[in-house]
Amino acid sequence: MGSAAEFDPFEDGYQQNPAGYVAWARRDEPVFFSPKLGYWVVTRYHDVQEIFRDNVTFSPSIALENITPVGEAAKEILNSYDFGLKRTLVNEDEPAHMPRRRLLIEPFEPAQLAHHEPMVRRLAKEFVDRFIDKGAVDLVEEMLFELPLTVALHFLGVPEDDMDVLRRYSVAHTVNIWGRPDPKEQIAVAEAVGKFWQYSGEVLEKIRRNPNGSGWMQFAIRMQPDHPEIVTDSFLHSMMMAGIVAAHETTAIAATNAIKLLLQNREVWDEICADPALIPNAVEECLRLDGSVSAWRRIAMTDTKVGGVDIPKGAKILMMQSSANHDERYFEDPEMIDLRRVSASEHLTFGYGAHQCMGKNLARMELQIILEELTRRLPQLELSAQTFSYVRNTSFRGPEHLLVEWEPELNPERADPSILASKAEVRIGPNATKHITRPVVVTQRRQLTDKVVRLRLESPNGKPFPAWSPGSHIDVICGDTGHSRQYSLCGDATDPRGLEIAVLQEPDGRGGSAWVHDNAAMGTALEIRGPRNHFRLDPGATAYVFIAGGIGITAISAMAAEAQRRGMKYDLHYAGRSRRAMAMVDELRAIHGDRLHLWVSDEGTRASMPTILDHLSQGAQVYCCGPAGMIAELQSIAENWREGTLHVEHFTSSLGTLDPAVESAFDLELNNSGITVRVAANETVLQALRAAKVEVPSDCEEGLCGTCQVGVVSGSIDHRDLVLTPDERAEGNLMLTCCSRACGERLILDL
Ligand code: HEM
Ligand code: FES
């Protein structure tokens, strides 16, 4: 149990387990002021994401500021080296930042990064070759420090010499910016930082003399003559130094954290050894659970609010991604390493929004290749007994050493040298891990009505599923038809052994339901994605009114069961055409008794929404899942309700498909950077932004999940999503870029 007064990021507790260190805050005081640090600390996913998203209200200008003020003696030393680390990208405000980012992003794009893959693979092999017969090493010493350093140097275009010097320099840089050195340490650190600065300048001059190489610095230098106001000399020198730290240490400690975490969870390590296709998602799960950047900084430019808490202008903010990544309000069963988690790559370790890490795909490639090489060649690897030590600082977190051991006699390549030739596919880029599916077997099939069948799905190996919250759904992959269909989970959310869905056969549906009815027999093996939840129950309501129409009862039944378990006040309204067609009635009656209200059209008790909602108590919330007409009626009744009172769930949408014959092209003006992007008639706003090298995250790409939301400054929006509330639409300052468009010629976006 901690408190705001005690919070001290230079304490061992924070270093060892930052998410656990602030578990109390995530629960009780998600945004708090730390007197010891002088920063506001933000711990929940949505709050951290919102700050990253709005880089105008929350300026990144302090990202590389010394968190411990530099003393006079240290300042003098830095001055003697002409130390002048200024604006790079990560601490640059708009409108300067985005043009620079877009101009310089090409070498980071997945297609360009593919050129580096053979180099990374060769290095990984060479490092492992050096120690494979030793039987025990410090993996940091032998591989994890130097490999990313060498890749970073290649990527940046820096000559490979002076590695040992650089090693001391970059750690000093971490302590300098994010640590709490005492006055004596400050002097030593200032010496190393000054030398690092000078060294970076010398390397830059070397590169300038021959700017034709393939490195990123050479690329930037070649851009300078045409864009001198974007690629300034000050930027180049600062980026040269900051780039080494950005590309090297982040990745080295991410790899160390990942291998430590996986070896501490042996069954997960073994699963990856058996199926290397799981490695890309394992990397994302490791970055989520034990990322290398545990917190990042912003400064408030105006009086504002975060998570309902007043934040004054000038307040410094520490966003704890390490905590956000463990937030159960966003990630189902957050402490579980789920190699098949669909949302794994939505961790905030790389930041989010306009400044999101440009090097993320290079880092992902390195981490995937390191894991692949180690799991393939040393599946018997074990952690040695050790105590983990960390460099004390707010932001960069990973053990300084990682002692491992193994039996060289058991090295698989001794028996079968051909394993050296095999390699798993590197997966990087938007949605690269979205293909991850989970194998299940149908272990029960019950006909609930003429048209509704209920299925119980279990893991083929009997392993438990991640815990899920009511309102969650899974996607069932319909064989090789190319279709998948979303189904809400309707079983017992506390039973980790099975997932249950009820499927209505819809003759004119998208094909998926008929496929499930015809193919999901007892014992059939299926692939699913999920669970994940876009329709969560707000625990803060004083009472719930649940309304289900037809098969919408699946999601609603799980929610009502949760309200019943928690002893909450609730009513459950279930409407259908005829009793024969209504699934689960007896089961619901047994659980909910008088709280269940049936509305059956052919018995003359058609549901009347105004009557149902007539006596809505203060603080009550309404959750509805049902046909489009029912949802539209509710939305119109709720037009003047307090925000957050009505929650609705849609399953399907046809909004992802565009018909260029009826669409028009329009312009997007990006307010913060002044860039204009044309959206053609046959593309979405999301596609046009990505083509213009402006990254916006996405998930469903059908207007269902809200992931691709951006702010709109002006222009009339043609909303086509199923996410925004009528109030939000009326306000007109948000849009979902995967489906919504402009009504007129132009939209000004808050990007
Ligand atoms: C696991 C490894 C890495 C982690 C955890 C990481 C993390 C981060 C974070 C947290 C930011 C700030 C994001 C924000 O403000 O929204 C960032 C920015 C950045 N990173 Fe990384 N990084 C990693 C690897 C790399 C690599 C390998 C490179 C270069 C090759 C790189 C280059 C950059 C650059 C240039 C930016 C500034 C982007 C901007 O402000 O527009 N990073 N990174
Ligand atoms: S990506 Fe899901 S709403 Fe756009």
Mutation test residue for ligand 2: of 342, 658, 708, 724, the one with most atoms within 8 Å of CB: 708
Query: Which residues lie below 8 Å from residue 225, measured CB to CB, with a gap of 6+?
Result: none
CATH number at residue 687: 3.10.20.30
Tell me, yes or no, whether 585 and 713 share the same domain: no
Distance CA 135, CA 408 (A): 6
95 CB near ligand 2 (under 6 Å):
no
| Boundary residue ending a domain (533, 559, 578) | 533
Nearest Cα residue to 151 out of 223, 231, 254, 224? 254
Tell me, yes or no, whether 673 and 642 share the same domain: no
CATH number at residue 327: 1.10.630.10
User: Is residue 421 in a domain?
Assistant: no
Digit-coded pLDDT (tens) for 635-663: 889 988 888 899 998 755 555 567 777 78
In Å, how far from its chain's centre is CA 567? Answer: 33
Question: Is the dihedral angle over the CA atoms 669, 680, 716, 648 positive or is it negative?
Answer: negative
Kindly list the strands in the beta sheet with 136-138, ordered across the sheet, starting from the edge strand earlier in the chain. Answer: 136-138, 403-405, 382-383
Number of domains, the chain: 4
Mutation test residue for ligand 2: of 654, 685, 701, the one with most atoms within 8 Å of CB: 701
Backbone φ and ψ for 645, nearest 5 degrees, come out as -85, -40
User: Is residue 744 in a domain?
Assistant: yes
Write out the residue range of the structural domain in which residue 622 sits.
543-649
Tell me, yes or no, whether 521 and 632 share the same domain: no
User: Is residue 657 in a domain?
Assistant: no
Tell me, yes or no, whether 524 and 586 share the same domain: no
Q: Give 696 Cα–ligand 2 centroid separation in angstroms.
A: 10
Nearest Cα residue to 352 out of 330, 319, 308, 329? 319
Strand, coil or helix: 306: strand
Query: Which residues lie below 8 Å from residue 661, measured CB to CB, with a gap of 6+?
Result: none
Distance CA 329, CA 410 (A): 44
CATH number at residue 595: 3.40.50.80
User: Is residue 16 in a domain?
Assistant: yes
pLDDT at 47: 97
Residue nearest ligand 1's atom 43 by CA:
357
Q: CB–CB of 679/688 below 8 Å?
A: yes
Tell me, yes or no, whether 254 and 361 share the same domain: yes
Q: CB–CB of 615/583 below 8 Å?
A: no
In the numeric block, the tokens 């008639």 are attached to 681
For residue 627, whether the previous peptide bond is cis, meaning omega lies within 30 degrees of 0, is: no
644-679: b or e for each residue (b if 16 or more CB lie within 10 Å)? ebbbbbbbebebeebeeeebeebbbbbbbbebebeb
Angle CA 470–475–480, to nearest 5: 165
Distance CA 52, CA 660 (A): 34
Alpha helices in 624-684 (DSSP H): 628-637
Looking at the DSSP assignment, which residues form a beta bridge with residue 549?
Answer: 575
Cα end-to-end span (Å), the chain: 39
Tell me, yes or no, whether 450 and 508 share the same domain: yes
User: Is residue 419 in a domain?
Assistant: no
Which residues have any ligand 1 atom within 6 Å of their CB?
A: 52, 60, 89-90, 101, 155, 246-247, 250-251, 254, 291-293, 296, 349-353, 355-359, 362-363
736 CB near ligand 2 (under 6 Å):
yes
Strand, coil or helix: 288: helix
701 CB near ligand 2 (under 6 Å):
yes
Nearest Cα residue to 672 out of 79, 22, 56, 38? 56
Assign residue 608 a region (left: φ > 0; alpha: ψ between -120 and 50; beta: otherwise): beta
Tell me the angle at which helices 216-223 and 146-156 cross, rounded to the nearest 10 degrees. 20
Q: CB–CB of 515/524 below 8 Å?
A: no
Nearest Cα residue to 368 out of 594, 197, 124? 124
Closest ligand to the CA of 703:
2
Distance CA 668, CA 549 (A): 39
Nearest Cα residue to 391 out of 649, 127, 16? 16
pLDDT at 320: 98
| Boundary residue ending a domain (409, 444, 464) | 409
Closest ligand to the CA of 252:
1
Closest ligand to the CA of 656:
2
Distances (CA, A) of 15 to 91, 297, 299, 322, 649: 24, 17, 23, 11, 40
Tell me, yes or no, whether 374 and 451 share the same domain: no
Q: In this structure, what token pair is assigned to residue 500?
A: 């249950």
Q: Give 279 Cα–ligand 2 centroid separation in angstroms.
A: 26
pLDDT at 351: 94
pLDDT at 508: 59
705 CB near ligand 2 (under 6 Å):
yes
Q: CB–CB of 526/440 below 8 Å?
A: yes
Nearest Cα residue to 684 out of 728, 732, 730, 747? 747
User: Is residue 52 in a domain?
Assistant: yes
| Boundary residue ending a domain (503, 533, 563) | 533
Distances (CA, A) of 617 to 570, 571, 611: 11, 12, 14
Distance CA 476, CA 460 (A): 16
Average pLDDT, consecutive stretches of 10 residues, N- to C-terminus, the chain (751 residues): 92 94 97 97 96 92 91 92 89 89 89 92 97 98 94 86 66 80 88 89 90 92 95 93 89 98 98 95 97 98 97 98 96 95 93 91 97 98 97 94 98 95 84 81 96 96 92 90 85 92 78 85 95 90 96 95 95 95 96 96 91 90 92 89 87 59 90 88 93 81 79 92 79 92 93 86
Looking at the DSSP assignment, which residues form a beta bridge with residue 34?
Answer: 39
CATH number at residue 529: 2.40.30.10
Q: Give 279 Cα–ligand 1 centroid separation in angstroms.
A: 21
Tell me, yes or no, whether 551 and 492 share the same domain: no
User: Is residue 417 in a domain?
Assistant: no
323 CB near ligand 2 (under 6 Å):
no
737-751: b or e for each residue (b if 16 or more CB lie within 10 Å)? bbbbbbeeeebbbbb
Tell me, yes or no, whether 505 and 365 share the same domain: no
User: Is residue 420 in a domain?
Assistant: no
Q: In this structure, what token pair is assigned to residue 749?
A: 């976006």
Tell me, yes or no, whether 633 and 672 share the same domain: no
Q: Spell out where 588-644 has E strands.
A: 596-600, 620-625
Tell me, yes or no, whether 386 and 515 share the same domain: no
Q: Give 740 Cα–ligand 2 centroid separation in angstroms.
A: 10
Which H/E stretch holds residue 243? helix 233-264
Strand, coil or helix: 505: coil
Tell me, yes or no, whether 47 and 178 share the same domain: yes
Q: Give 7 Cα–ligand 2 centroid separation in angstroms.
A: 37
